[in-house]
Amino acid sequence: MFREFAAEGRLQPWQQAVSDVLFPVETASAVPDGFSGCLKSWDLGEVSMAFMASGPVTYQRERHHLAADKEEILLVSFATNSEIAYAQDGLELTCRRNQVLVERSHRPSLFVQPLASNALWVLKVPMRVMKRRLRAIDQMPSLVADAGSGAAGLLHDMLRLAPTRLAEAGAAVRDGVGRTLVDLLVLALENDVRALNSRQSPVRQAHLARIEGFVRRNLSNPALGPDMVAGACGISVRYLNALFRDAGGLSLGQWVCELRLEAARDQLADPARAGTIAEIARRWGFLDQAQFSRRFKARFGVTPRELRRGPAQ
């Protein structure tokens, strides 16, 4: 879904629009009566992107805003023509051009763009989506990273270029674009997350890396479970469960199920992919098709048959 909003001379409607598209905020401006802004947003499956152009503005999130959140969000903002001053939990950051601010929504924060003309490209990703890809992201604070090259640079380029094609894209294409943006974000953040995860002992880090590699290589094996993973990695099931518990987020079983559902969804959404729903379910370790359909519907909001038939344009 595409949405567009323009504010001329009034700050309150802008606050409401930003709160609806991103997350609840309190806005302020040095020119509240002369404030102007333009916001465009595109839904891309589980994620969304937005372009925001405005006059001088401050966005503040306090505890009552956090209480109104439906879920935790990772907000990725590229400063196009002005700096961002950001503060959270005693951390003060400056995001300049060719940099990206990665902002977590779980704590109060202050986001300031003081210039007369400001522009942002923003990617909004639920933390539950990121946790499926980067388990240690729970330990990452808000941060500023280079966006002049590499995966972050590609992500910025895609955000700027995608809107020219999204108007003619169906829901399946938009969903695929969203997944590609998340892939690039994961690549951009992997090194930062691993560095922050260094608080864990090297032994635990090595075990978790070995576990993740084994799980991804054996995802289609119906027998994949704690006993198999622990045995292959040379640890006890008890220690395996403790590693996942201490890392936070999903248990091993929940994580494996999420990865399998994602893989099945990708194949069901691919019109070039042959195979029945039952065959694809079995390919990814779901031997009970009824259970697979229930879990798929709970996870994605549509049944496998509805997805295979094709989403509404």
Residue for token pair 């210039």: 115
Q: What's 27's domain CATH number?
A: 2.60.120.10
What is the reported pLDDT for 247? Answer: 67
Out of 175, 197, 219, a domain closes at 197
State which residues form the domain around 208: 200-309
Strand partners, 114: none
Q: Are 87 and 109 in contact (CB under 8 A)?
A: yes
Residue 301 and residue 170 share a domain: no
Is residue 191 very low, low, confident or very high in pLDDT (cuts 50, 70, 90)? low
Query: Nearest Cα to 113, choosing from 189, 185, 37, 50?
Result: 37
Residue 292 and residue 234 share a domain: yes
Out of 197, 232, 255, a domain closes at 197
Per residue in 98-150, pLDDT tens? 899 999 999 999 999 988 889 999 999 999 888 877 776 777 788 898 888 88
Residue for token pair 């704590």: 107
Residue 84 and residue 162 share a domain: yes
Residue 170 and residue 182 share a domain: yes
Residue 206 and residue 134 share a domain: no
What is the reported pLDDT for 301? Answer: 82
Residue 185 and residue 90 share a domain: yes
Is residue 195 very low, low, confident or very high in pLDDT (cuts 50, 70, 90)? very low
Residue 183 has which token pair?
A: 């892939």
Tell me the whole-structure pTM to 2 decimals: 0.70
Q: How far is CA 296 from the centre of its chain?
A: 19
Residue 18 and residue 123 share a domain: yes
Residue 119 and residue 209 share a domain: no
Out of 197, 222, 247, a domain closes at 197
Rounded mean pLDDT, 279-292: 91
Q: Are 251 and 226 in contact (CB under 8 A)?
A: no
User: Which residues contact residue 153 at a Cβ distance below 8 angstroms, ignoring those fewer than 6 apart?
Assistant: 147
- Mean pLDDT, all residues of the chain: 87
User: Which residues contact residue 54 at a Cβ distance below 8 angstroms, ignoring those fewer than 6 apart?
Assistant: 7, 14, 35, 36, 37, 38, 113, 118
Half-sphere exposure of 200 (CA within 13 A, CB side): 20
Residue 162 and residue 30 share a domain: yes
From CA 75, how far away is CA 126, in angstroms rounded? 9
Number of structural domains the chain divides into: 2
Residue 242 and residue 141 share a domain: no
From CA 143, how far away is CA 234, in angstroms rounded? 36
Q: Are 171 and 312 in contact (CB under 8 A)?
A: yes
Q: Where are the beta strands (DSSP E) in the chain?
A: 2-8, 26-28, 36-44, 47-54, 57-61, 73-79, 84-88, 91-95, 99-104, 109-113, 118-126, 143-146
